[in-house]
Structure 1
Amino acid sequence: MSLAWSEDLLRVALSRAAAPSSDFDLNPDVAPPDTALRPAGVLAAFHEADGRLLLTKRASGLRHHPGQIALPGGKVDPGDADARAAALREAREEIGLDPAQVEVLGALPPHRTVTGFAVVPILGIVRGPFAARPEAGEVDEVFALPFAHVADPARYRIERRRWRGGWRAYHAAPFGPYYLWGATARILLGLAQRVAG
């Protein structure tokens, strides 16, 4: 399936009901720890011109998820009103995206990570020209994936790897040199499923 970019597809997807997701969804034999989750927000920002999705390759020296492909975002700080504010602030810091350029369409259901975060994905449209400025020490690269890849559920597959003494299953949707997997892939798969209806 090849999807042509349309903002209306995202608006319709947001109108469809969906349940929260978790890194534990594919691993029912692994019980999530009984601890309070830390709130976080990430920005799924699609460019108005062609629907390309902005993503980052996290710096290899980071404590959480080094070198992984991620949506811009992070934990909700005391100065943030909510996950939306955190996602927009982090996008400005990580990739130089001015919040004034982002039309926020809404939020996807929260995603629970194995690292103890409750991540709220904020869906938005980037208006006008945008030249990324990766934050040194946090982001190695800013790049974009085509809407047709991100929004097609058939592009996602289940893979497995050893983790903490056992096998862990996870979603992946590789594209060229970019290995999209884990929480980011699961969040985007949820969106793709809603786009597909």
Structure 2
Amino acid sequence: MAMTLELDALRAALARPGRPSSDFDLNPETVLPAGRKLRPAGVLAPVVQRADGLHLLLTKRSSALKHHPGQIAFPGGKQDEADADVIAAALREAHEEIGLPPENVDVLGTLPAHETVTGFIVTPVIGVITRDFTITPEKDEVDEVFSVPLAHVLDAERYVIESRRWRGAKRSYYAVPYGPYYIWGATARMLRAWTDQISK
């Protein structure tokens, strides 16, 4: 399905109420422990305006990392004590991971938080890059920075549901492949939630 997105549509979607998401949404049989403590984190969805439309920057995590090596992710990470909030955390981490200066980002808003299997409560921050910058991957964390047309990852018809074994049980998850990039797991789930917001 061909789809054209404008910044005004992104702003309007973020102004509408949304529903929190989690890595367990496609696995309703999962019983989560009551009173579990989740660590706050923020990720940035950096939107780039180009002649052919809006694009989204994503990272491919280093294959040398202990957790989620080689996976596709938003730049971002856990909120530190020095961060004012999760938005500040997302902007700081994007600066560290891909060299994006915080002052080059116009934050449009946030999506409802997403709970991960690793015990984080992650807030996706949607921001438009307002000035060119030199992409500089943090060599210990990021193997590659690439872009995908935003219309591709905000199109529900592009999503598939797949599954694999995890901790001895079958776990289902969303995936939204793009060329050689297999976007899945928490990143795909947060993008799918954004898709729902756009589609309302």
Decide: shared fold, TM above 0.5: yes
- 1:59 paired with 2:62, answer yes
> 1:14-66: per-residue Cα shift (whole Å, max 9, x none)?
12221100001111112224420000000011112331101000011222211
Matched residue, 2:109: 106
Two-structure CA RMSD over aligned residues (Å): 1.1
Contact 1:158/1:171 (<8 A) preserved: yes
Provide the secondary structure at the position in 2 that maps to 1:189.
helix
1:146 alignment counterpart: 149
Q: Distance in 2 between matches of 1:127 and 1:164?
A: 42
Correspondence for 2:49: 48
Gaps of 5+ in 1: none
Give distance in 1, aligned partners of 2:133 and 2:3. 23
**Residues 127-184 of structure 1: CA deviation (Å, up to 9, x unaligned):** 1223311001100000011012011111111111111111100000001110000110
CA distance in 1, matches of 2:10, 2:58: 17
CA contact (8 A) 1:102 1:125 kept: yes
User: What is the correspondence of 1:1-197 to structure 2 with a 5 Å cutoff?
Assistant: 1-34=1-34, 35-49=36-50, 50-197=53-200
Structure 1 window deviating more from structure 2 (6-15 vs 66-75): it is 6-15
How far, CA to CA, are the matches of 1:151 and 1:27 in structure 2?
22
In the aligned structure 2, how far is the partner of 1:5 from the partner of 1:132? Answer: 24
Question: Which secondary structure state, in structure 2, belongs to the residue aligned with residue 136 of structure 1?
Answer: coil
Q: Percent identity?
A: 58
Q: Which consecutive residues of structure 2, in runs of 5 or more, have no partner in the other structure?
A: none
Count of residues in correspondence between the two structures: 197
SS of the residue corresponding to residue 60 of structure 2 reads: strand
The TM-score, its normalising length taken from structure 1, stands at 0.96
Which amino acid counterpart does residue 193 of structure 1 have in structure 2?
D
Q: Secondary structure at the match of 1:129?
A: coil
**Counterpart-to-counterpart distance in 1, 2:66 and 2:82:** 22
Per-residue CA deviations over 1:75-126 (Å, capped at 9, x if unaligned) read 0011111100000000000000011110001110000000000000001101
Runs of 4 or more consecutive aligned structure 1 residues displaced over 6 Å after TM superposition: none
2:117 aligned counterpart, secondary structure: coil
